[in-house]
Structure 1
Amino acid sequence: MTSSADAIVSLYARHAAAYDRQRGRKLMEARWLDRFLALLPARPSVLDIGCGMGEPIARHLIEQGCAVTGIDSSAPLIALCRERFPQQDWRVADMRELALGRCFDGLIAWDSFFHLTPVAQRRMFPLFREHAADGAVLLFTSGPAHGEAIGSFEGEPLYHGSLDPAEYRALLAENGFAVAVHLVEDPDCGGHTVWLARRTA
């Protein structure tokens, strides 16, 4: 399991073109993104953690007036973001080492954070806190229960990890976030388990 988790960075770098080709552009996440946006101020700054090639999520945020900073460990995917959305801020970075030196109105980690091991996920919550302004909104997806699972992408193992929901709630609370909505395996969003939380002042 650990070796599969360690391979995620190189996997998305080597198969960036395939991911870009296969990632659906139909925005099944729209309802969650609209909930997220409804809690943000006008023209918000948003940090997209694990932004991929910027479509369809970052594109939607940009179209709704957000100033997006996107990070991803895959240089080829970030290159596509820079080509498609040159007025936004795109950076090659490992989310586990996130240190941008600024805070954002919103943070999103959709289908990205769950590629980390449970140990690495626990370490992310202080990083979320460090990059969240007072009242900032955090949207992320996880697994439905504690565990690890291996999928497949381009014939290679694709790692997923998750904590228990009670531990996510505890980590959010410890780092100053209050859960607004938590839905397990949303049938209207491809079975995603979604968390929407807000940083308290």
Structure 2
Amino acid sequence: MTEPVEAAAEAIIGLYSRHADDWARMRDGPLNAHERAHLERFAAALPEKAEVLDLGCGSGRPIAEGLIGQGFRLTGVDASPGLIARCRAAFPEHEWRVADMRGLDLDRPFDGVLAWFSSFHLTAEAQAAMAAVYARHLRPRGVLMFIGGPRRGVAMGTWMDQPLYHASLEPSEYRAGLERAGLIDIEEAALKPGEDDSVRVWTARRGVSD
């Protein structure tokens, strides 16, 4: 990567921290039909009153809010103090932590781990290391769902007039990393069915040890 792109990757946390209020306003609305369909699939795979770890939880709306409404117990992690403050104010009975998902270790497992449009802001190398983070936070048969791109590479966007970094591994790399981390039942689906360039929704489960 060139130096400007590397700088954009490192600037993600600061960008969302500075514009926490703007992000909260943008996401404070209903899910679109494509998001809703996949997240309903995630929720349906969880046990009743499941404990869910939401990585890159943002303001808690609409994702965590929807899961809470279904009776799940949420632990949200985000690197933006402003966004976590909003979560704590809106949903004080749940757990919210200011932390970087890279290398995260909460020392306890969950029934589900969700990284919805969050881990794809990490570099490809950091995303490769996330398989271990996902696995250590899942109970046996626990459910994982996260977003990746359709192919390896960097995609730059713009938000609040600032560069917005996204990256992806090759699908084969995501799959191999998940398998090495002990995850099974790995599936990849386009966010928008029928669109080859659509971002990918990955699901998997933690294997059961002998």
TM-score (norm 1): 0.95
Matched residue, 1:14: 18
Matched residue, 1:48: 54
Q: Distance in 2 between matches of 1:147 and 1:38?
A: 32
Percent identity of equivalent pairs: 47
Aligned ranges for residues 90-105 of structure 1 at < 5 Å? Answer: 90-105=96-111
Aligned ranges for residues 6-155 of structure 1 at < 5 Å? Answer: 6-23=10-27, 25-28=29-32, 29-155=35-161
How much has 1:30 moved relative to structure 2?
A: 1.7
After superposition, the Cα gap between the structure-2 partners of 1:18 and 1:188, relative to the gap in structure 1 and judged at 3 Å, is: farther
Q: Deviations over 1:64-85 (max 9, x none)?
A: 0110000000000000000101
For the 8 Å contact 1:172–1:179, the answer to whether it is kept is: no
How much has 1:100 moved relative to structure 2?
A: 0.6
1:199 corresponds to which of 198, 203, 206: 206
Q: Which runs of 5+ in 2 are unaligned?
A: none
C-alpha RMSD of the superposition: 1.7
Of 43-52 and 26-35, more deviation after overlay is shown by 26-35
1:162 maps to amino acid? S
Q: Distance in 2 between matches of 1:95 and 1:122?
A: 13
Matched, 1:3 2:10: no
Q: Distance in 2 between matches of 1:188 and 1:194?
A: 13
Q: Distance in 1 between matches of 2:65 and 2:18?
A: 23
Matched residue, 1:165: 171
* Off by >2 Å, runs of 4+ in structure 1: none
Q: Which runs of 5+ in 1 are unaligned?
A: none
1:196 maps to amino acid? T
Q: Please state whether the residue corresponding to 1:160 is helix, strand or coil.
A: strand
Question: How many residues in Structure 1 have an aligned counterpart in Structure 2?
Answer: 201
